[in-house]
Amino acid sequence: MRRPLATTCLLTALLAGCSTGPSLENQGEVTAPPGDSKSLTIGSAGFTESDLLAQMYAKLLSKAGYRTTLLTVANRELYEPALESGQIDVVPEYAATFADWLNAKANGADAPPVGSPDLDTTMTALRELATPRGLTVLDPGKAVDQNAFAVTSAYAKQHHLKTLSDLGRSGLKVRLAAGDECVKRPYCQPGLEKTYGIDITSVDPKGVGTTQAKKAVQAGQDQMVLTTSTDATLGEFGLVLLADDKKLQNADYIVPVVNRSRAGSEKVAAALGKLNTVLTTADLASMNQQVDSWRRLPEDVAEAYLEEKGLL
């Protein structure tokens, strides 16, 4: 997979954990006014979806007149401080997950989560945590990548299942393929039992959305798999998602997060905001599939999508 090359000094600075900009822990509340640097670095977390979003951000910003560089830093523990310091200017993030991550960073790992299924509540909490760090969270669009649960299409048809509530009412016993942490996470086994009344007999620790987990459900060894709402490969295993009709999952809508002093201008917000009018969860799943299953380059898929939507 091709990736744009970043400068050695930038990457070294990131890995060394050094900072050239404001830090909440060292300097208190950040009050830098919104900036508009003409040269912006867009960060990716290194997985397919993040690469696609970063490519789209870069192309939209380039069209708006900015010089852009892409940098992949797979570890949030590295790229978030780099975003604060201005070594990275823009990253695609997930609202509830990022809110909880910043909350843990500010208030300790045992702090109660602030992400929730309600988007407005989540965005309020996220912005309150991000602003003192010199970060601006732009508006979310329609696309959301959150935890989701899938069964085989045959199983769904046989038992008349379209939603997780349907599964709970059915009284069926369910062995769930998921990560081993599922037994204690509120969005997983405890939530499925409490919110939907689903009878989870055990958790098969095969990981979240892994090929192994999907094959276990396909073969009937397990009845349901924990995956994500933008999983592009479900059809290859004969799987379909059951709707989270009672909104157990948190609002992990995709949001651009920018360094306010370098990329906090209305021009940047307007350029990236154009994606909000078109990008859907289904669009993201389709693009993920083109990269993961069809072996197309994220750069090419991103460009084709933006051209199709009239944004380039």
Length of the chain: 312
170 belongs to a structural domain: yes
Q: How far apart are CA 214 and CA 311, in angstroms?
A: 36
Summarize pLDDT for 66-98 with one digit per residue, the tens.
999 999 998 899 999 999 999 999 999 999 999
pLDDT value of position 293: 87
Residue-level pLDDT at 5 = 34
| Average pLDDT rounded to a whole number, residues 283-299 | 94
Closest of 137, 164, 134, 152 to residue 244, by C-alpha: 164
Residues 137 and 256 grouped into a single domain? yes
Residue 193 sits in a domain whose CATH number is: 3.40.190.120
Q: Is residue 22 part of a domain?
A: no
Q: Mean pLDDT, to the nearest integer, of 33-49?
A: 93
The verdict on 255 and 300 lying in the same domain is: yes
Residue 85 falls within a domain, yes or no? Answer: yes
Q: Which tens digits make up the pLDDT trace of 97-131?
A: 999 999 999 999 899 999 999 999 999 999 999 99
139/151 same-domain check: no
Domain end: 214, 242, 270, which one? 242
- Residue 258 and residue 140 share a domain: yes
Are 57 and 184 contained in the same domain?
no
- Residue 30, by phi and psi: left (phi above 0), alpha (psi -120 to 50) or beta? beta
- Which pLDDT does position 12 carry in this prediction? 41
**Looking at 225, 242, 259, which one is the last position of a domain?**
242
Are residues 138 and 255 both part of a single domain? yes
What is the residue range of 266's domain? 8-13+31-144+251-308
* Whether residue 261 sits in one domain with residue 130: yes
* Residue 19: inside a domain: no
Looking at 242, 270, 286, which one is the last position of a domain? 242
Neighbours of 295 (CB within 10 A): 8
Q: Is residue 23 part of a domain?
A: no
Domain harbouring 257, CATH code: 3.40.190.10
Shared domain check, 155 and 140 = no
Tell me, yes or no, whether 74 lies in a domain.
Answer: yes
- b/e per residue, 245-269, with b = 16+ CB within 10 A? eeebbbbbbbbbbbbbbbbbbeebb
Residue 21 forms part of a structural domain: no
Buried b (16+ CB within 10 A) or exposed e, 145-181: bbbbbbbbeebbeeeebeebbbbbeeebebbbbbbee
Quote the pLDDT of residue 6.
37
210 shares its domain with 275: no
Residue 180 and residue 277 in one domain: no
Give the DSSP letter of residue 278: T
Domain count, the chain: 2
Residue 20, pLDDT score: 41
Co-location of 109 and 36 in the same domain: yes
Q: Does this model's pTM top 0.75? A: yes
Same domain, 196 and 97: no
DSSP character for 86?
Answer: T
At 37, phi and psi to the nearest 5? -65, 140
